[in-house]
């Protein structure tokens, strides 16, 4: 793995909490629970990690294995980013601020991933929108890359 992709997700869209993201990533989403779920419950998607609004970290896929988080994607001239990337989902939406505990947990997790995969330098940490432009917008305009990078510097010192 040589790329880290940061995502944003909420289920149903714009709502936080509840079991729905976990259910989606474990192929257990009940389409009867919400009208939106009827369209997505058959998707077979996953991420390596999910960071909840309170900073709680859940791992779904070992980092050495492929997760299905990037979809049709390209980075640095290579297609199919799922084949060579680690995906971290943040519970959130593009246009609402992410929570402070999420940034702290994301910085800690990023450091751990970079220790395990030194080839994932800071310039190989991107948003979903960077690997799937025009198709995806997450983590969105509300994701504060400056705050994230500052926490990375502070924790790395």
**pLDDT tens string for the chain (157 positions)?**
999 999 999 999 999 999 999 999 999 999 999 999 999 999 999 999 999 999 999 999 999 999 999 999 999 999 999 999 999 999 999 999 999 999 999 999 999 999 999 999 999 999 999 999 999 999 999 999 999 999 999 987 4
d(CA 132, CA 117): 23
pLDDT at 50: 98
Which of the residues are catalytic? 89
Please tell me the CATH code under which domain 3-156 is placed.
3.40.80.10
List Cβ neighbours of 141 (8 Å cut-off, separation of 6 or more). 94, 95
List Cβ neighbours of 118 (8 Å cut-off, separation of 6 or more). none
pLDDT at 155: 81
For the chain, which residues make up each domain, given as ranges? Answer: 3-156
pLDDT at 126: 98
CB atoms within 10 A of CB 144: 14
User: Is the backbone of residue 72 left (phi > 0), alpha (psi -120 to 50) or beta?
Assistant: beta
List Cβ neighbours of 44 (8 Å cut-off, separation of 6 or more). 27, 68
């Amino acid at each position: 793995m040589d790329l880290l992709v940061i995502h944003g997700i909420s289920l149903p869209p714009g709502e936080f909490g509840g079991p729905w993201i976990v259910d989606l990533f474990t192929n257990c989403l009940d389409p009867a629970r919400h009208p939106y779920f009827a369209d997505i419950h058959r998707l077979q998607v996953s991420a390596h990690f999910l960071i909840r609004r309170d900073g709680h970290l859940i791992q779904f896929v070992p980092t050495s294995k492929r997760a299905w988080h990037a979809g049709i994607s390209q980075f640095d001239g290579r297609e199919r980013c799922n084949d060579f990337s680690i995906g971290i989902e943040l519970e959130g939406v593009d246009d609402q601020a992410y929570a402070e505990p999420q940034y702290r947990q994301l910085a800690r997790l990023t450091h751990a991933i970079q220790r395990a995969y030194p080839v994932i330098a800071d310039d190989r940490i991107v948003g979903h929108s960077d690997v799937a432009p025009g198709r995806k917008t997450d983590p969105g305009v509300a994701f504060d890359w400056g705050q994230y990078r500052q926490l990375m510097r502070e924790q790395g010192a």
